[in-house]
Structure 1
Amino acid sequence: MSDSPAETVTQPAEVSTSLRRARAATFTLFGICGLLVGMWVVHIPAITDQTRIDHATLGTLLLMLGVGAIGGMQLSVPLANRIGSGRTAIISGLVLSITAVGPGLATRAWQLGLALVVFGLSVGALNVSVNALAVEVERRYRRPIMSAFHALYSVGGAAGALLGALTLAAGWAPVTALAAAGGISVVAVTTVSRWVVSDPAGRPEESEGPAKPPEPGRRSRGRLSTRVLLLGGIAFALMLSEGVANDWSALQVKENLGASDAVAALAFGAFSVMMTVGRFTADRVSGAFGPVAVIRYGMLIAATGLLLILASGQLTLTIVGWALFGLGLSGAVPQIYTAAGNLGSDSANVNLSRVVTFGHVGFLSGPAIMGWISQVIPLTAAMAIPLLCVLVVAACAGAVQSTPAPAQQNHSALS
């Protein structure tokens, strides 16, 4: 398919105050999700000491968190179809804010496991519902804004990590810090709850201006269509690659170049910073050149970064490689979620939840796969796995191209 934007055109609607508030509410929910997950992550060492568990037990408990998240993704779908993605996102955000304190209360392994399952359920439910909400807000804006929502998740995660570091330095117990973050989140979610867009029957309301129509002939009524499988496979490959960077970037630099822990941490820092920067700019790129170009050329940038990581024996070039990898990946997942959410209005939540689930499985399995492979070949050589993933995604980028409605095929592209 062409790299140019879809021929379906719609002139951007005038943005009302209510729609701006709906976008702000969705930004807030993404940020809250990132904040609470970030707070949990930085408290893992302290909670590990508090519960007196070893690394093997921690690994099993973290898997329970992932299983809980997948369960929450599936549970959120019937609720969103019944009361709307906006209300579901608000409920999930409140539940997440409350359950975030659970891991801080645990003093035994079984208590932490139970707390993580419940925490994971609420994370998964919010993940799907807030992405469905973002698809609806983007549809009403009638221009690409999805990547900015994901950027706010990254900002929230960074804020959670910073806040957690400060509370740890101040000697706060994990339960106190997590409770404080949860309280802040409850207030924030409650404040913006009146602003979210409402679709009580799980269908979009009238948008401000002609809405971007669901793709004709794509109403799958919940069936696992070939298109959903393809988008899910792309999400799996993308999130697998992101998971590899999150868990293995610093170790790759340390083992391959003999760097100190502090210097090796620059690899993940470069990746995450460029991921955030890229997400703040990807919407403009998508609006100008289309989602296919964002993915195809983004994957080529990511592949260039991975080639530098594989071939370079110099620290500076390797750090540049991780930065390029983050920049290339940054805008891709939001394009996949937008495409999944617009496959058909009668099954949008189902389609999106399936694609998000595929991506989450990739995110969880990627680091494990790399761990197994690195037992056989050097860790740096194992980076060929995410390289293969991004090249396959580049070849499949046309999957996000929407099908223009017959009456609109002669219009100009989105501005």
Structure 2
Amino acid sequence: MERSLRAARAATYVCFVLNGTLLGAWVVHIPAVETRVGIGHAALGGLLVLLGLGAFAGMQVAGRLTDRLGTRVVVPAAGVLCGASLVLPGLAPDPWTLAGALLLLGFANGCLDVSMNAHAVHVEKAYGRPVMSGFHATFSVGGVLAALAAAAAANAGLSPAGTLGALGAAGIAAALLTARSLLPGTPAAADARDRERTSAASSRGGARRRIAVLAVLAFLVMLCEGAANDWSALHLKDVLGAPASTAAFAYGTYAAAMTAGRLLADRIVARYGSAAVLRHGAATAAVGITVAATAPWVWAAFAGWALFGLGLSGCVPQLFSAAGHADPAAAGANVSRVAGLGYLGMLAGPAVIGWLTHLTALNHTFLLLTVLCAATAAAAGILRTAPDGRTPPGGRTAPDGHGGADHAPATAHGGH
């Protein structure tokens, strides 16, 4: 069992890298596809909304299928679909075809996103200790791999469609090769009595209310992430007058800090608990974005964006993990609800900031993110215990609120 569990964890890492690579491959080819189809920025923006809508739909479908069929079936199927659909935007000859291609790619990406997170919850439950943040860190690695592959392909004279097709084929192969290593579904640690207790909690409405709160928090956190993705570089360029080459590093600084934080977050969760990570992380993010918003110098803005990324780094993994542990029999559906609303927040973030710039200066709009981070920190206590009073991996187990490795089950079979 220990060997198979290690294999399942390794396969989950591959799935997260795969998702990051496939999505990153599309992102780096957006300019080439825009030129090929012959559309402007405004039309492209509308088409990208379809990608988001497709992803949201895929998340809802995958959540239910994962609970019904198991992650060993849904994760590789979603990976194959995502790899196969990656080439379609590169082949689209007109906007209408591109719209359909983006809907399908978004749907496939949403399916893979939710199913792999549900599987990560099962792996974490089987380990009996926090491992979710490490999985999310490797998603960023996939984006880097996609950028490197695209650059190498361009230097070799390969067309965008050829590059997307090659990366998609590699993704299909990776999804199929890792399928046998995945856990079949709900881990063995969730026995019949565990299911009865969590189902009873759900029927009382405890789990449902908990999922609703987690989903709202995911919306707030991912709205902040979406705002940083699209506005950090423009902040340095338009507000502080930094050259475009320097301004581009604002997002890089934010993303690097987030990746580093996620690589460290699992150990911090094991030591202090997931509620502490969410609370102090969101508070750190609030300080960081306030520093960025009020910074009179470029170097101070860089420091603010780094703090913002570091603070947010552990928030989403803990929210997804808590959603999956709320009811093991419905892990997929619960993760899909939290991830789905969170994804809508990420899509809304750039638009909200853009709308507010009609009312005030860009840097002043970031103070809204300060408020959202503070609200998230205030609500972090939702992660302390499961609906039935048990403590999930990374929850607070000690009287002083400090869960730790010493409090986690010692064997790989440990559950809640």
Tell me the TM-score normalized by structure 1.
0.90
Deviations 1:50-100 (A, max 9, x none): 000111110110000000001111111232122102321111011101111
For 2:363 and 2:373, the matched residues in 1 are separated by 16
For 1:406 and 1:18, the matched residues in 2 are separated by 30
Q: Contact (CA 8 Å) 1:236, 1:362: kept in 2 or not?
A: yes
Aligned with 2:111 (options 122, 125, 145): 125
Equivalent residue number for residue 171 of structure 1: 157
For 1:410 and 1:161, the matched residues in 2 are separated by 42
More helix by proportion, 1 or 2?
Answer: 2
Q: Verify: 1:350 aligned to 2:333, yes or no.
A: yes
For 2:404 and 2:197, the matched residues in 1 are separated by 16
Q: CA deviation at 1:207?
A: 7.1
Q: CA deviation at 1:306?
A: 0.9
Equivalent residue number for residue 3 of structure 2: 17
Deviation >3 Å, runs of 4+: 210-217, 220-224, 403-414
Deviations 1:365-412 (A, max 9, x none): 110111111122111111012111111100011111124967999988
Q: Quick one: which amino acid aligns to residue 379 of structure 1?
A: L
Q: Contact (CA 8 Å) 1:42, 1:161: kept in 2 or not?
A: yes
Q: Quick one: which amino acid aligns to residue 19 of structure 1?
A: L
Aligned with 2:243 (options 252, 260, 269): 260
For 2:347 and 2:171, the matched residues in 1 are separated by 26
1:18-33 alignment, distance < 5 Å: 18-33=4-19
Distance 1:175 1:214, change over 3 A: farther
Equivalent residue number for residue 10 of structure 1: none
Out of 151-160 and 165-174, give the one that drifted further.
165-174
For 2:98 and 2:75, the matched residues in 1 are separated by 25
Distance 1:370 1:182, change over 3 A: same
Q: Verify: 1:326 aligned to 2:309, yes or no.
A: yes
For 2:163 and 2:205, the matched residues in 1 are separated by 41
RMSD: 2.4
For 1:125 and 1:226, the matched residues in 2 are separated by 24
Q: Verify: 1:110 aligned to 2:96, yes or no.
A: yes
Equivalent residue number for residue 408 of structure 2: none
Out of 152-161 and 22-31, give the one that drifted further.
152-161
Distance 1:406 1:380, change over 3 A: closer
Q: Contact (CA 8 Å) 1:142, 1:211: kept in 2 or not?
A: no
Distance 1:297 1:168, change over 3 A: same
Q: Verify: 1:93 aligned to 2:76, yes or no.
A: no
Equivalent residue number for residue 126 of structure 2: 140
Deviations 1:215-271 (A, max 9, x none): 585324999822111100000000000001111100011011111111001100100
Identity of aligned residues (%): 40
Q: Verify: 1:154 aligned to 2:137, yes or no.
A: no
Out of 347-356 and 124-133, give the one that drifted further.
347-356
Out of 179-188 and 129-138, give the one that drifted further.
179-188
Out of 239-248 and 157-166, give the one that drifted further.
157-166
Any stretches of 5+ residues in structure 1 without a counterpart?
1-14
For 2:326 and 2:372, the matched residues in 1 are separated by 24
Distance 1:271 1:220, change over 3 A: farther
Q: Contact (CA 8 Å) 1:219, 1:345: kept in 2 or not?
A: no
Q: Contact (CA 8 Å) 1:43, 1:174: kept in 2 or not?
A: yes
Deviations 1:130-169 (A, max 9, x none): 1100000000011000000100111111211222233234
Q: Contact (CA 8 Å) 2:56, 2:110: kept in 1 or not?
A: yes
Q: Report the count of equivalent residues.
A: 397
1:276-315 alignment, distance < 5 Å: 276-315=259-298
Equivalent residue number for residue 34 of structure 1: 20
Q: Verify: 1:236 aligned to 2:222, yes or no.
A: no
For 2:109 and 2:301, the matched residues in 1 are separated by 33
Q: Quick one: which amino acid aligns to residue 374 of structure 1?
A: T
Q: Quick one: which amino acid aligns to residue 305 of structure 1?
A: G
Equivalent residue number for residue 177 of structure 2: 191
Larger relative CO (CA 8 A, sep 6+): 1 or 2? 1
